[in-house]
Amino acid sequence: MLAKGPSCILLGLMSFVGIAKGFIADLSILAFTGTPVGKVIPFNGRYVTVAPDLFEGKPRSEDPKAGFNGTEFFGAHGPTITDPKVEKAITYMREQLGIEKIASTGYCFGGRYAFRALGTPQNKGVQVGFAAHPTLLGDEEIKGIKGPASLAVAEGDTGMMAKRRAEIEAAMGTTGQPFTMALYGRTPHGFATHPDLNNPVQKAAKEDAFLQAVRFYETWL
């Protein structure tokens, strides 16, 4: 569940803006796209949440029967298209809302951009980043971070199997930044946003990953 708040046009970009009572999305507090489900952890209004629409109203269909052309989708929403949208949201938070400290939260597609935002110069980017089961996150994007970062990864994520997880851990270790990387066993890609809530392992992992992000923010933001 996202924080209650209005949708609005933000510097030409449709966005959600609200005072967080709880959040789970894809670029937070700059929050990036996700499917919010399950238990909400209250934040008692401590965080403003801005969730830019990175897909201009046309996200990937949640209907498994609809089919999905990954090459076409990711080609249409690559860094040259998505980074400027993220930058607009950060600029709005700093210049219009007067926010000095910003954390990025990225799930799936958004995980990569949570890290990219953390690699932007500090006066233009974010201070802390969290990503769950990120898609297409590259080594150079990891090595480029300029602040603390936390990762929640799924054991069954076919895009992040044991070899790739080891590579990511090694890349994180070169940054000189504080980091955590938690592996959630018996979980698939997407468990932190759309788990099978009838599966106690997935349900617990989803809630634990959320708390992982919260604890990391409380420590480093």
Alpha carbon distances (Å) from 97 to 18, 19, 49, 173? 11, 12, 11, 34
Most confident residue range from 17-26, 46-55, 153-162? 153-162
Asked whether residue 1 is domain-assigned, the answer is no
Instruction: Return the DSSP state at 66.
Output: G
Question: Does residue 176 belong to any structural domain of this protein?
Answer: yes
Q: What are phi and psi of 101, to 5 degrees?
A: -110, 125
> What is the C-alpha to C-alpha distance for residues 110 and 91, in angstroms, rounded to an integer?
18
Distance in angstroms (rounded) separating the CA atoms of residues 134 and 164: 12
Residue 202 has pLDDT above 60, yes or no: yes
**Other CB atoms closer than 10 Å to residue 144's CB: what's the count?**
15
- Residue 158 within a domain: yes
Residue 90 lies in a domain: yes
Q: Tell me the average pLDDT across 31-55.
A: 55
What residues are paired with 150 via a beta bridge? 130, 180
* SS3 of the chain: helix, strand, coil, percent, to 5: 35, 20, 45
- Residue 2 located in a structural domain: no
Q: Is the pLDDT of residue 166 over 80?
A: yes
Which CATH number fits the domain that encloses residue 215? Answer: 3.40.50.1820
What is the per-residue pLDDT for 74? 74
150, 166, 161: which is closest to 189 by C-alpha? 161
The residue-averaged pLDDT of 137-145 equals 97
Q: Is the pLDDT of residue 34 over 60?
A: no
Q: Which two tokens stand for residue 32?
A: 């990036």
Report how far residue 164's alpha carbon sits from residue 4's, in angstroms, rounded to the nearest whole number: 37
Number of domains present in the structure of the chain:
1
What's the pLDDT at 154? 98
In a domain, residue 172? The reply is yes
CB 179 within 8 A of CB 150: yes
- The least confident of 93-97, 139-143, 153-157, 198-202 is 93-97
Tokens 């936390």 label which residue?
Answer: 150
Residue whose C-alpha is closest to residue 192's, from 161, 219, 146, 157? 157
pTM of the model: 0.82
Residue 77: the pLDDT is 77
Residue with the bigger pLDDT between 45 and 54: it is 54
Residue-range definition of the domain harbouring residue 26: 7-220
pLDDT (mean) for 194-213: 95
Q: Is residue 96 part of a domain?
A: yes
Query: In the structure, what pLDDT confidence band is assigned to residue 29 with cuts at 50, 70 and 90?
Result: low
Looking at residue 46, its pLDDT comes to: 59
Q: Which residues pair with 19 in a beta bridge?
A: 48
